[in-house]
Amino acid sequence: MKSIIGLSLLLLLTGCGIRTEVVRVNVPDIRVNPEQGTTVVVAPVRDNRRSEFLSLVPASERARNVGGEIRQGNGFNLVLESTTASEKTREIIIQALRNMGYRTADQCDAQCLRLEASMNEFAVRAPFNFWRAAGWAQQMVADLSVEVTTHDGDRTRSFTAKGHGTNVFQVVSPENWEKALERAVTDFTASFKQNMSAQDAAAASKAQD
C-alpha cells in the first residue's frame, strides 16, 4: 500500500503540464543596519545558474525561478512572488553581513570593503527515488551556492558559500518546498558567515605582520 501511495504521489509531478507555484524564501534573523562597523558595499548578484533546467520554464519567469521538477513537459515551476533569485540572494548576504556587525551600503565615497557575488545555484527539487517513494520518505532537496569575492584596497579574497536543506514530504505543496529552501538558506548563511570570519581573521593577522 505504501508503495502504491508513494508512486502515486510522484505522479503528481507529471501529467498536468507545467504548473507555476509561488513560494516564499524568508531571510533569517532580520536586523537593522548597524550605525557603526565596517562599511561594505554589496554589488548586485550575478545569475550564473546553469541553463539545463531554466530552459524548461517560461523565459519571463526564469529570473524568479527557484527550482521545481519538470519531466517530459510536465511538473512544477517554482517562482518567487516579487523578486528575482539574484535579488533574494543579495538580501540574504546583506542580512548575514549586518548580523556580523558590518554596515551595508549601496555605495561609498571613501575607500571601503566591496563585495561581489555570483549565484551558481538556488533551487529546490524533488528527485525521484524508488525506495524512498516506496517507504513514504520521498525528499525535497534544496541547494544554494554563491561565489563571493571581496575587495579591500588592493587586497582581493574569494570563497564559495554553500547551503543544503532537505524535507521529507507526503504532499507536494508550497509549504513543503519552502521548508527545504528555508533549511538551505539557514545553512548557506552559516557558511557565508564562517568564510567571512575566516577572511577577517586572515586580514587581521596579515595587518599585524
Structurally, the chain folds into a number of domains equal to 1
- CA 146/CA 46 separation, integer angstroms: 9
161-191 per-position pLDDT tens digit: 999 999 988 888 899 999 999 999 999 999 9
Instruction: Please give the average per-residue pLDDT across 14-25, as a whole number.
Output: 83
| Domain CATH for 7 | 3.30.160.150
Residue 33 falls within a domain, yes or no? no
Contact assessment for residue 150 and residue 117, using Cβ atoms and an 8 Å cutoff: no
In degrees to the nearest 10, what's the CA dihedral of 181, 64, 146, 121?
Answer: 70
All cell numbers assigned to 187: 545553512
Model confidence band, residue 12 (pLDDT cutoffs 50, 70, 90): low
124-159 per-position pLDDT tens digit: 998 765 445 544 568 899 999 999 999 998 899 999
All cell numbers assigned to 197: 570570519
Mean pLDDT of the chain: 86
Cα 37 to its chain centre, rounded Å, is 26
Residue 191 falls within a domain, yes or no? yes
pLDDT, position 5: 36
Model confidence band, residue 206 (pLDDT cutoffs 50, 70, 90): low
Q: How open is the CA angle 112-115-121, to the nearest 5 degrees? A: 175
Q: Among residues of the chain, what percentage have pLDDT more than 90?
A: 63
Bigger pLDDT: 202 vs 24 = 24
- State the residue range of the domain holding 105: 2-26+38-208
Contact assessment for residue 13 and residue 145, using Cβ atoms and an 8 Å cutoff: no
55-84 per-position pLDDT tens digit: 999 999 999 999 998 888 888 899 999 999
pLDDT, position 125: 93
Burial class (CB in 10 A: 0-12, 13-18, 19+), 121: middle
- CA 28/CA 42 separation, integer angstroms: 18
Residue 31 falls within a domain, yes or no? no
